[in-house]
Structure 1
Amino acid sequence: MKIVPLLGRILFAFIFLMSGINHVGGAGADYATAAGVPAANIMVRLAGLLALVGGLSVLLGFKAKLGAWLVVIFLVPVTLAMHKFWGIADPMTAQMQMGMFMKNVALIGGALLIAYFGAGPLSIDNKG
């Protein structure tokens, strides 16, 4: 059953690797600007770097606790700035943003578990 934490890390990290690569390239800066994020082009790229480094760290199980904190540092401001469902008049758009908000809250929960418990077996952190 040592494979289960590894599979969990792979599945958990995938979203941060994909979004991190996209954000480092500047994808989403227009959306962030529209949401009122100051210096969106720079902030999106920095957020992408946090997501990418944190995701790689968790995936590899190398300093996974630190990587999980990087993911939390990425997710908290992004969630609050980009998914403000409480301020949206259109019910369908508000529902979609609430879903994205709650998804990010769940990801924060997962990251906090990794930050506390670590990478588990089959990781660089636990090679010895």
Structure 2
Amino acid sequence: MKIVPLLGRILFALIFVMSGINHVGGAGADYAAASGVPAANIMVRLAGLLALVGGLSILLGYKARIGAWLVVIFLIPVTLAMHKFWGISDQMAAQMQMAMFMKNVALIGGALFIAYFGAGPLSIDNKS
């Protein structure tokens, strides 16, 4: 059953690696600017770097606790700045943003588990 934490790490990390690659390239900067993020082009790229490095760290199980904290540092401001469902009058858009907000809250929870428990077996951190 040592493979279960490895599979969990892979599945958890994929969203950060994939979105990190896109954000480092500047994808989403226009959306961030429209949401009121200052210096959106720079901030999106920095956020992408945090997500990418944190995601790769978790994926590989190398310094996974630090990687998990990078993911938390990425997620908190992104969640609060980009998914402000409470300020949207359109019911459908508000519902979508609330779902994205809650998804990010769940991801923060998962990252906190990794920050506390580490990468688990079958990781670079636990190679003996």
Q: Confirm or deny a common fold (TM above 0.5).
A: yes
Which letter maps to 2:65? Answer: K
> Residue 122 of structure 1 aligns to a residue in which SS?
coil
In the TM superposition, structure 1's runs of 4+ consecutive aligned residues that sit over 2 Å from their partners are: none
Please, which runs of 5 or more residues in structure 1 have no aligned partner? none
Q: Which residue of 2 aligns with 1:65?
A: 65
Cα offset, 1:33, TM superposition: 0.1
Q: Determine the C-alpha separation between the residues in 1 that align with 2:87 and 2:45.
A: 26
Q: Deviations over 1:85-119 (max 9, x none)?
A: 00000000000000000000000000000000000
Query: By how many angstroms is 1:25 displaced?
Result: 0.1
Q: Structure 1: which amino acid aligns with 2:60? A: L
Provide the residue aligned with 2:27 in structure 1: 27
- Read off the aligned partner of 2:6 and give its amino acid letter: L
- Aligned with 2:8: secondary structure? helix
Q: Which residue of 1 aligns with 2:74?
A: 74
The normalised TM-score by structure 2 is: 1.00
Question: Aligned partners of 1:58 and 1:45: how far apart in 2?
Answer: 20
What secondary structure sits across from 1:120 in the alignment?
Answer: coil
Deviations 1:55-78 (A, max 9, x none): 000000000000000000000000
* Count of aligned pairs between the two proteins: 128
**Normalised by the size of structure 1, how large is the TM-score?**
1.00
1:103 counterpart residue number: 103
Query: What is the 5 A alignment of 1:1-128?
Result: 1-128=1-128
**Percentage of pairs with the same residue:** 88
Q: 1:18, 1:67 → 2: CA distance?
A: 15
C-alpha deviation, 1:84, in angstroms = 0.1
SS of the residue aligned with 1:38? Answer: coil
Whole-angstrom distance in 2 between the partners of 1:27 and 1:10 = 23
Write the letter of the residue equivalent to 1:14: L
- The gaps in structure 2 that reach 5 residues or longer are none
1:20-49 deviation per Cα after TM superposition (whole angstroms, max 9, x unaligned) = 000000000000000000000000000000
Secondary structure, in 3 states, of the residue corresponding to 1:119? coil
RMSD over equivalenced CA pairs, Å: 0.2
